[in-house]
Structure 1
Amino acid sequence: MAELSSTSVKLVELCRVAPQPQPDVAEFSLPLTFFDLLWLRFPHFHRLFFYEILASSASADTKPFFNSLLFQKLKASLSVTLQHFLPLAGNITWPQDSHKPVLSYVQGDAVSLTTAQSDADFHRLSSNDFNIEAKEYHPLVPQLAISHEKAAVLAFQITLFPNSSGFSIGISMHHAALDGKTLFMFLKSWAHLCKHEPDTLLPDQLKPFYDRRVFIQDPAGLELEAIYLNQFLNMDQRANNRSLMVATRYKSVALPDSIRGTFEFTSTKIEALRQSVMIKKQQQYHLSVLYLSTFCLTCAYTWVCLVKAEQEEEEEEIKDDQILTVLSVDCRSRLDLPIPATYFGNCITGHGAFAERKGLLGEDGFFVAVNAISEAIKGLDNGVLNGAENLVSSLYLSESDLQATTDHSRVFTTAGSHQFKMYDTDFGWGRPKSTEVVPIGRRGAIAITFSDGKNGGGAVDIGLVLKKHHMEVFASLFPKGLENL
């Protein structure tokens, strides 16, 4: 687990939760596809959910409620849920007799579940305040067990805030086993079984689809699996390198003076952004076909605010360089043979939207960004996997190559989706008060994370972790442009 701060978080118990036994299933394994292999040595993903226990939901003395009913209910329903998601209780290994890694469950495997108590201010941590350092969330998420030979897939931490009548669920996930869509299918299954009786049947939209034999095929001519495996086997200047450790580039580093922030696009503001682009297109007929989805509009606006905030922070002459935003694309419905929405595993790839810094900083910066993202989305029509052969080499650049790249361009990445409906993850005590992505010691590109809005009503929230001064400038710019719509 992540290092616990002795002043705010106290470890209570560390246990392992196994899937409810199934007499006819002693083991279960899945070969990693090229979609999974991409993330084999990527940093683990961490997310937090904050839940407030209202007085009507608990006894007058909340400690017994937290320590018995809440924890035992979450633990019991987790065991039942893992019965439907056996691979998540297993491990990723790369046996010497296998040409590629596998995700396998063997009876007796289990996930790590930590319970802890914190005297931190629950309401502050779950708020939209911009004075919260990113590192304050680190003790609330667990660390996945990992070695060169074996890597766990999931770990959980339940942290109680008895002085504030709230609790958090911290999740750590190995990206090579599942993507965000699969993670939220699992979390909503867990919440469904916790809220209802454990023997309740899962609805069809929460039943994982495991068949990889027909639907996930390495495209003819691309040989992505072979390319990725060869690059991993020769990584770190070692031959036959089957290590599962996080790549050297992503070794944990301190992120001093980093602040997290959450910003809301209401449905009214999203529609106003859409109308402003439509008016612009009517005025300038040469604009290309535009995709005015909620994602495109909110991503474009955030992209421009980030570039402007960095420029104001640097107070330098405007650089004539290219800015790249890497868009995460769900390929489930975009492959030649579409796969079910409930497919278990990874089915995402990245596509770049490029724009000149000067264009983004100009009067029409928002429209430049919308056009760039639209062009990237339009390019998917020519093949969702175009350029995929370069993804591993791009993700795992050496330090010297990374420095050379960042000297000449700026990179932003996107993660999550408002379509995951994260705030519908109700374990029986109501909607989350807040949910946060927790970046731990990750250098490189700034990530823009998307979720449905905590206030509902069709809103979208975006999350960022930036240097303190950069965040202050961004927080000043973000509302100004929306107010002028």
Structure 2
Amino acid sequence: VFSILGYHMHHMPPSIMVTVVEHCWVAPPPGTVAEQSLPLTLFDLPFLHFPRVQRLLFYEFPHPKTHFIDTLIPNLKHSLSLALKHYFPLAGNLIIRPDSIRPEIRYMDGDSVSLIFAESSNDDFNNLTGNHARNASEFYHLVPQMPHVSDTLVLVVPLLALQVTLFPNFGICLGITFHHVAADANTLVRFLKSWASIAKLGGDDQAFLANGSLHPFYGRTVREDPNGLETSLWSKMREIKLDEGQLQYPDLTNKVRATFVMRQAHVQRLKKLVSARRPTLLHVSTFTVTCAYVWVCIVRSRSVAADEDELEHFVCVADCRARFNPPIPETYFGNCLTQCSTTAKNSQLVREEGFLMAAELIGEAISKKAQNDEEVFKVMETFILSVKGLKWERVVSVAGSPKLGFYNTDFGWGRPVKSEIISIDGTGAISLSECRDSEGDVEIGLSFPKIQMDAFATIFAHGLEII
């Protein structure tokens, strides 16, 4: 138990400590799920070597430790077990055999999820849940460590770890570490909402059963593999050794994490500006203008001036469940994402018209994907090959989406007061989510060295004042 957290302790400032109250392994109720396997698809394979997704959800919980131990722990364990009955692959493992045609997710009787209950000695709950710049290292004691991969002849890779940390009389933090190869955020948020809805009703899954929008759809025949892409992609992927090194603690020296809010009024002004100056552009969405604005602010905030011909890359993903004919159910369990990417010269983004150029490039990249089914498949092949050659310090990628609704995950003690994607510390992505308190606003999460964060904050605020 302690070794799981010991990994974090080693790196943490001494002021921040968590004590493990209980470490348990939670399985679906005995005899409720048959042993079964889900093969990875063309859409899962690109995430085989992806860094683990780490998310935190903070909740106000003005109760003492006794209430946490007597009431909350038993309810969360029981409700998680019931949720895993429906989302059983998350209790299973990724299985890679040396001779396998392709990897699979396997659930066997007795498989379970690591769930840690902990108590923080730090009463800094309000600081951690703010939008201002905070040291990135302060969050890692709240992130659960994934159980180790067992690597005999067959590779067995856990997919999910959970941690619930109490800040006595202040709040609770739910920490999630998740392997993206199992599913995308659409699936993850449905699992969390299922767990939450069962917990809210004191451990009864009847309401969950009545709510069809949360039932996972496990069909794998929905996507035939066009042109044998899956086999071809797996033959490339299997050459790369599955490296636990990717899980290592990222370099957080001088890194701070902050949240910026793009108000709906700003979004509308940016949309109007694009529509007026680029009237032929089809895709002028909240996502397009927000990403374009942030991309340009990031490029301008770097302290070292770049060569004007240096290439700047932008990468995002789009859910493509509805793109297929017939559409894949919204509740499909797995990854169903296609990559949209674009490139500009540094000089095109730093000049005065930079925002319009960025909006045009991102809008066109998304439109191209939306209009062409073949593009959806082609991209997964190039996804692996393209990222190999990029200069990562010149890539702005996006984690999350304002449409996912993580702020609607209510376990019975209210909606989260803050959502954070911790894994952007290591991937360099920006995180996007809906705003907790105001519909139409967008939260943007960043993790940068302090000097760059200060520069970004100034550029971001100034630009919005003058539009």
Provide the TM-score with structure 2 as the length reference.
0.91
Percent of residue pairs identical: 40
C-alpha distance in 2 between matches for 1:199 and 1:414: 34
Q: Give per-residue Cα distances to partners, 1:197-232, cap 9 Å, x unaligned.
A: 41323211111000111x12222x3x3212221122
1:39 aligns with 2:65: no
C-alpha distance in 2 between matches for 1:456 and 1:74: 29
C-alpha distance in 2 between matches for 1:437 and 1:448: 9
1:436 aligns with 2:417: no
Return the offset for 1:288.
Answer: 3.7
On the 8 A contact 1:288/1:371 being kept in 2, the answer is no
Could you tell me which amino acid in structure 2 is paired with residue 347 of structure 1? C
On the 8 A contact 1:252/1:441 being kept in 2, the answer is no
Give 1:276's aligned residue.
273
Superposition pairs of residues 358-377 of structure 1, within 5 angstroms: 358-377=347-366
Pick from 215, 219, 239: which aligns with 1:211? 219
SS at match of 1:352: strand
Give 1:127's aligned residue.
130
Return the offset for 1:290.
Answer: 3.2
Pick from 165, 169, 176: which aligns with 2:170? 165
Moved more, 71-80 or 150-159: 71-80
SS at match of 1:88: helix
Could you tell me which amino acid in structure 2 is paired with residue 217 of structure 1? E
Return the offset for 1:393.
Answer: 2.9
Could you tell me which amino acid in structure 2 is paired with residue 325 of structure 1? F
C-alpha distance in 1 between matches for 2:425 and 2:290: 26
| Structure 1 unaligned spans of 5+ | 237-243, 282-286
Could you tell me which amino acid in structure 1 is paired with residue 61 of structure 2? I
On the 8 A contact 1:231/1:393 being kept in 2, the answer is no
On the 8 A contact 2:429/2:446 being kept in 1, the answer is yes
Could you tell me which amino acid in structure 1 is paired with residue 381 of structure 2? E
Give 2:23's aligned residue.
14
Give 1:473's aligned residue.
455
Moved more, 369-378 or 248-257: 248-257
How large is the RMSD of aligned CA atoms in angstroms?
A: 2.0
Could you tell me which amino acid in structure 2 is paired with residue 218 of structure 1? D
Give 2:82's aligned residue.
80
1:325 aligns with 2:318: no
1:267 aligns with 2:261: no
Superposition pairs of residues 140-219 of structure 1, within 5 angstroms: 140-147=142-149, 148=151, 149-162=155-168, 164-197=169-202, 198-202=204-208, 203-213=211-221, 215-219=222-226
1:406 aligns with 2:395: no
Relative to structure 1, the CA distance from residue 268 to residue 49 in structure 2 (aligned partners, 3 Å threshold; closer, same or farther) is: same
Could you tell me which amino acid in structure 2 is paired with residue 422 of structure 1? F
Moved more, 178-187 or 373-382: 373-382
Give 1:349's aligned residue.
338
On the 8 A contact 1:251/1:442 being kept in 2, the answer is no
On the 8 A contact 2:136/2:425 being kept in 1, the answer is no
On the 8 A contact 1:290/1:370 being kept in 2, the answer is no
Relative to structure 1, the CA distance from residue 317 to residue 165 in structure 2 (aligned partners, 3 Å threshold; closer, same or farther) is: closer
SS at match of 1:366: helix
C-alpha distance in 1 between matches for 2:113 and 2:306: 52
On the 8 A contact 1:413/1:447 being kept in 2, the answer is yes
Moved more, 139-148 or 40-49: 139-148
Give 1:418's aligned residue.
402
Return the offset for 1:275.
Answer: 1.5
On the 8 A contact 2:306/2:346 being kept in 1, the answer is no
Q: Give per-residue Cα distances to partners, 1:56-93, cap 9 Å, x unaligned.
A: xx5xxx22112221222212111111111111111111
Return the offset for 1:441.
Answer: 6.7
Could you tell me which amino acid in structure 2 is paired with residue 438 of structure 1? I
On the 8 A contact 2:46/2:380 being kept in 1, the answer is no
| Structure 2 unaligned spans of 5+ | none
Give 1:254's aligned residue.
251
C-alpha distance in 1 between matches for 2:346 and 2:311: 6
1:226 aligns with 2:231: yes
On the 8 A contact 2:255/2:447 being kept in 1, the answer is yes
Relative to structure 1, the CA distance from residue 249 to residue 17 in structure 2 (aligned partners, 3 Å threshold; closer, same or farther) is: closer
On the 8 A contact 1:290/1:371 being kept in 2, the answer is no
SS at match of 2:44: helix
Q: Give per-residue Cα distances to partners, 1:3-62, cap 9 Å, x unaligned.
A: 134642222221101112335x331211111111111122111000100124xxx5xxx2
Give 2:466's aligned residue.
484
Could you tell me which amino acid in structure 2 is paired with residue 50 of structure 1? F
C-alpha distance in 2 between matches for 1:291 and 1:484: 24
Give 1:284's aligned residue.
none
SS at match of 1:35: coil
SS at match of 1:14: strand
Q: Give per-residue Cα distances to partners, 1:351-388, cap 9 Å, x unaligned.
A: 21222221211111111111001110122123222332
1:29 aligns with 2:37: yes
Relative to structure 1, the CA distance from residue 125 to residue 251 in structure 2 (aligned partners, 3 Å threshold; closer, same or farther) is: closer
Provide the TM-score with structure 1 as the length reference.
0.88
C-alpha distance in 2 between matches for 1:11 and 1:317: 47
Relative to structure 1, the CA distance from residue 482 to residue 470 in structure 2 (aligned partners, 3 Å threshold; closer, same or farther) is: same
